[in-house]
Structure 1
């Protein structure tokens, strides 16, 4: 890390990777360390949902409400950067000033998700990280945000509590360490593997530490290896 516990920009990680990491460390490493990816019905649906939300040109003002879409955020302290699906700003005497906007505003991040609310905190951790980025950029405090699930078409209000913030920091510290060392955890087969878009690349049935990328390259190019002449 750099001075004052800040990460240089070259070491910033994708904010969206926090959700992958909290769901499965190996999945995150395959995507962000080994640069592997594969689509399935769930990831395609999720991408389409985000395409509907991510249109910065559609940002709008309605009275005391300003809605910004596809807002890029970052945190030097956390070493991450990414895009918020939607950030609502409401006028408030205790708010912050925004460029080219009159008055003061309070930010409220909203993350759009496919499906329904979940018991695990992967989505909430991503939302919390977005809020922490906005806090650092705008020098403000964000007490809550929301997750909007397309299937139920309802918002789930998320309190940005200290426990959630601490978990974001802990996970990101581990992610930076793994990324800098180029580590990919061993496969540990579980029920969730069946729905993972990377199961054919992850190869959980092998249950070994070998890099999935190396295995795939070996398989693809094995016919190109010259044979020894007799």
Structure 2
């Protein structure tokens, strides 16, 4: 799944727990994100205005990358170059738009997800897609993402690595950091137990924390 790349870049172990071991847990952040994407996908409608087509919930795939997913929104603009759309005259510029609940992230996970969607659309429609947008709900703003060679390579390499982990059924060890606190599967991951500490030390720490509550 294309959406899995966001988990993968955020944390390889989180991705493996969800996509290899089929474990999942909700928290406030994931619930808010799910509601937002349901709203973005609802109706699966096509909006038509002069020179513009807008689709929601468009399903995409790439046999080359072995990826499949669903775009939140794809905008098509009448252009001198681009894709042919059945039932519509002329050529159309293709612009994928991904919706996110929060604000811009410090990693490339959102950009890689959008880039994979663009790569699928390019393969399906036989056109070049130079850019797309990410809409961040918290700041109510779009960010334009250029699909550079570096970003395309990073997204493709991550997809290849995901396939490798999945084929091997591999779940990597945890690398603890501050982001563990916002992870929805932290109670399944048990990051403190995965660190290189003895069971005796872990129990002492847990008892001490309990005394401080």
Map 1:24-63 → 2, pairs under 5 A: 24-63=11-50
* Structure 1 residues not aligned, in runs of 5+: 1-13, 210-230
- Contact residue 44 and residue 58 of structure 2 kept, 8 A: no
- Matched with 2:203 is none
- The 8 Å contact of residues 98 and 114 in structure 2, kept in 1 or not, is answered as yes
By how many angstroms is 1:56 displaced?
Answer: 4.3
8 Å contact from structure 2 (residues 98, 134) kept in 1: yes
CA offsets 1:168-188 (integer angstroms, 9 cap, x no match): 111111111110000000122
User: Is the Cα–Cα contact under 8 Å of residues 56 and 68 in structure 1 kept in the other structure?
Assistant: no
Whole-Å separation in 1 of the counterparts to 2:70 and 2:110? 14
Q: Which residue of 2 aligns with 1:123?
A: 110
For normalisation by structure 2, the TM-score amounts to 0.89
1:66–1:90 Cα contact (<8 Å) kept: yes
* Matched-pair contact (CA < 8 Å) for 1:33–1:184: yes
Deviation at 1:58, TM superposition (A): 2.9
Match of 2:188 among 198, 201, 208: 201
In the alignment of these two chains, the number of paired residues is: 196
Structure-1-length-normalised TM-score: 0.83
> Is contact 1:187–1:206 with CA below 8 Å preserved after alignment?
no
Deviation of residue 144 (structure 1)?
Answer: 0.3
Tell me how large the CA RMSD over aligned residues is.
Answer: 1.3
Is the CA contact (8 Å cut-off) linking 1:145 and 1:159 kept in structure 2?
yes
In the other structure, the counterpart of 1:151 is 138
SS in 2 for 1:15: coil
Contact 2:36–2:101 (Cα < 8 Å) also in 1: yes
| Larger displacement relative to structure 2 (99-108 or 169-178) | 99-108
Residue 175 of structure 2 is aligned to residue 188 of structure 1 = yes
Q: Which residue is equivalent to 1:133?
A: 120
TM-superposed CA distance for 1:91, in Å, is 0.5
Q: What is the alpha-carbon distance in structure 2 between the residues aligned to residue 158 and residue 145 of structure 1?
A: 5
Find the aligned partners of 1:197 and 1:59 in 2 and give their Cα distance: 34
**Shift, 1:75, TM fit:** 0.5
Q: Which runs of 5+ in 2 are unaligned?
A: 197-213
Q: Distance in 2 between matches of 1:58 and 1:153?
A: 22
4+ runs deviating over 6 angstroms:
none
Residue 170 of structure 1 corresponds to 157
**SS of residue in 2 equivalent to 1:183:** coil
